[in-house]
Structure 1
Amino acid sequence: MPMQSVLDETATFMEHLGLTEEPFGVHFADTTPEKSFGPKKGVPISRELEDKGDLNMQEVMKSFSCVMGNVWLARKKKAAAFISAEHYGCPGGVYYCSMLTPHLRFIERYVSTGFEGTPVEGERYMPNPDAMRDFMLEVNPRKAPAKYCIFKPLSHFTEEEQPEFVIFFARPEVVSGLFTQATFATGDMQCVVSPFGAGCTNMIGWPLYYKERGEEKAVLGGFDPSARKFMKTDELTFTTPLSLYEKMLGALPESMFTRDTAWKSVRKKVDRSAKAWGEE
C-alpha cells in the first residue's frame, strides 16, 4: 500500500478510535532525523569485554538513557527517537532493538535478583538469572540492517522510507478497538500476543521475533514497571508489523466501526476518558 494511502486511512482509523495522538513507526537507517532524541555516546560495550572483565558497568550506566524515555520525549515534541550500538543508553534496550548481540550477562542479574554483596538488588521482574537468560536467548533479535533504530511519527515517513512496524500508544478502550480490528482483519484468534518484556522489548524486540518467524502478530505491551514513568496513566502500547496494519486499514469499511455495534458505546467512553484527562 502506498505510504500516502496508509496515512490517509490512518486518519480515518484514528477518528473511529477516538485517538488524537498519531501512531509512531519504527525503522532502521544509517542516519538520524535532524530533530531526534537519543542517548549520548557511551563507552564501548560487548560480551567479549564483559567476559574479559574489561567492562566497567558503573561507567556504562553513567550514560544510561531509556528507550522509552527518549520515545516519550519524541512523542511530546512530535519528533524522532533513536538508539545505536554506540549511542546505546541502556544495556538491555540496545539488545532488544537489535543493536547489540549477544546480550550482556549483567542484564541477567539486573532484571532478576541483583548482585550479592552490592547495592544493586535487582529489579525482581524475573525469579533468577537463569530465567532471565532463557528470556534473552528466546527474544534473540536479528542483526540490525542499519546503524540506527529510529522511532518517529507515522506522518514523518515517505514512500521511500516506510516503517517496519507501527506503534500505537493508547488506553484500554482504544486498545480494545485495535485488538478487535486486528482479529477481524486476519481471522486469527491469536494474532495479538503479550509476552513478558521491557517496554522496548514489546515495542520492537518481540515484533521482530515474530516477523523473523513469519508470524504476523500484534504485540501488546507497556506492562514493564520501569517503563510506566514514560507513559500516560493507564496507557499501553500496541505494535503491529506494517503488513498486518495494512490489513487492519483495508478491513475498516466492513468492520464494527462502520456498523451499529457495541463500539458506539465504547467510543463514548473514549471521549469521556479524553475529557477526564484534558486531552480533548
Structure 2
Amino acid sequence: MKSQIEMALKMEFNPVAVIWSDKLPENAMRFKEGRWGCVMWLFANAAKGKTAAFDRKTYGCWGGGVGLGFGNTYQYFPGGQTCFEYFLSNGNKNYEVGKEVAARLENLARKDFVEDFLEGERYVKTPEKVKNFLDQLPMMDVPTKYVIFKPLQDVDWNLEKPKVIVFPANPHELAALVVLANFGRDSFENVIFPWGAGCQTIGILAYKEIESMPQRAVVGLSDISARKNIRNYLGDNIFTFTVPTEMFMEMESNVSESFLLRPTWLSLNRLSSK
C-alpha cells in the first residue's frame, strides 16, 4: 500500500513494515550465521526499497537479537551479560573476568570492539545502572521463526500482518508525525522517546505498545552507535517514528482532515524539500 502519510509528507525514504513470519521472503537480505552486523544497516536498506529478514541465528549483534524479539541474547555476549553491563558503561578493564575475556578476544575480534570492551562505550554511568536498564527492557521471544523488514508499499495485506510501521523521518517530518499521532486523541502524550538501541526502539519497545491502552508511537535513533552505522545509508538527519499497525491506521484515516493539507505544513514541507 502507498501510505497517505508518506505521500502527504513527501518522504525521501520508505516506511518499513516489521512483520513476524514463519516464511522467509525470496531474495531477502540477511546476515550470515554467526557474523556480526548492525540491524539498522538492514533497516536502512529496507527504507531504500529492499526486504530484509532475521532469525535466531542471523540477528547480527547481541542488542539486535534483543531488539528484534529473540529473547535475552545478551547472555551470549563475550563473558555473558555481566561483561555487557561493563561494556555499555565504564568498561571491563578493572573487572577480572572481563580482563580475561578481553585477552582471549585480542586475536579474534576487531580492534575497536576490544578497545570498547575494555574502556566501555560510556552510554550509561555504571554497570549497576545498565543492569537496571536491562531489567526494564520488555524482552520477549517472538512466536515466529523470522522477523522481516519490508517496504510498506510492498506489503500484501491479504497475506501479511505487520506488527509495527517504522517511518524514517527528518526533523520536520518527525514534528508532523508527532502532531498527527495526537490529532484525534483525547490525551496528548501519545508519543514516547525512550533510551535504547536503535533496533530496540523499532522492535521490542514498539511491540510493547501494541498491548498498551492507548497505543503510543516510539521515537528512536538517539543511539549514537546506530546513527554512526547508518549515516552512509540515510544521512545524518534521520530519526525513526514507530507505531503499532492499529495506530498507523488511525493516523492514516486522519490525514485528509489534518494540518497536512494546510498552508503552514505545505510551506514548511516545500522549503525543506528544496
- Could you say whether these structures have the same fold, taking a TM-score greater than 0.5 normalized by the shorter chain as the test? yes
Give the letter for the 1:74 counterpart.
Answer: A
Residue of structure 1 equivalent to 2:31? 39
Amino acid at match of 1:31: K
- Output the TM-score relative to the length of structure 1: 0.80
> What whole-Å deviation, never above 9, does each CA across 1:90-132 have from its counterpart, x for those lacking one?
0111012111236420432222222124442221111111211
- Cα separation, 1, equivalents of 2:223 and 2:244: 21
Counterpart for residue 255 of structure 2: 252
* Corresponding residue to 1:64 among 36, 54, 59: 36
Q: CA 1:247/1:161 → structure 2, altered by over 3 Å: closer, same or farther?
A: same
Determine the structure 2 residue equivalent to 1:278. none
1:29 and 2:21 matched:
yes
Q: Which amino acid aligns with 1:152?
A: K
Number of the residue aligned with 1:141: 139
Higher relative contact order (CA 8 A, sep 6+): 2
**Residue aligning to 2:54:** 83
Residue equivalent to 1:49? none
Q: Deviations over 1:176-214 (max 9, x none)?
A: 111111110324311110010111011112111222444
**Residue 215 of structure 1: CA displacement?**
4.2
**Alpha carbons 1:91, 1:107 under 8 Å: kept:** no
Cα distance change, pair 209–225 in 1 and its aligned pair in 2 (3 A): same
Q: State the distance in 1 between where 2:68 and 2:166 align.
A: 14
Match of 2:78 in 1: none
Q: Deviations over 1:60-109 (max 9, x none)?
A: xxx21110012223333x21122221112101110121112364204322
Distance (Å, rounded) in 1 between the aligned partners of 2:128 and 2:73:
16
CA distance in 2 between counterparts of 1:199 and 1:269 reads 29
- CA-based RMSD of the aligned residues comes to 1.8
Partner of 1:50: none
1:137 partner letter: D
AA matched with 1:255: S
Q: Distance in 2 between matches of 1:14 and 1:155?
A: 10
Residues of 1 paired with 2:64 and 2:177: CA distance? Answer: 26
Pairs within 5 Å for 1:255-266: 255-260=258-263, 262-266=264-268
CA distance in 1, matches of 2:50, 2:249: 23
- In structure 2, what is the equivalent of residue 207 of structure 1? 206
TM-superposed deviation, 1:36: 1.7
Aligned residue number for residue 277 of structure 1: none
Q: Which residue of 1 aligns with 2:67?
A: 96
2:11 equivalent in structure 1: 19
CA distance in 2, matches of 1:258, 1:213: 30
Aligned 8 A contact 1:36 1:74 in 2: no
CA offsets 1:230-274 (integer angstroms, 9 cap, x no match): 1421111110000111010111121112234x21332123222xx
Task: State the identity as a percent.
Answer: 29
> Matches of 1:88 and 1:21 in 2, distance apart?
23
TM-score scaled to structure 2, two decimals? 0.82
Paired residue type of 1:66? C
Structure 1's unaligned 5+ residue stretches are 1-6, 43-62, 273-280
Provide the aligned length of Structure 1 versus Structure 2: 242
- Equivalent residue for 2:239, pick from 223, 236, 241: 236
**What does residue 195 of structure 1 align with?**
194
Contact kept? 2:40, 2:199, Cα under 8 Å: yes
Is the Cα contact below 8 Å between 2:6 and 2:15 reproduced in 1? no
Which one-letter code corresponds to 2:222 in the other structure? Answer: F
Report the equivalent of 2:150: 152
Q: Which deviates more, 182-191 or 237-246?
A: 182-191
Q: Partner letter of residue 85 of structure 1?
A: R
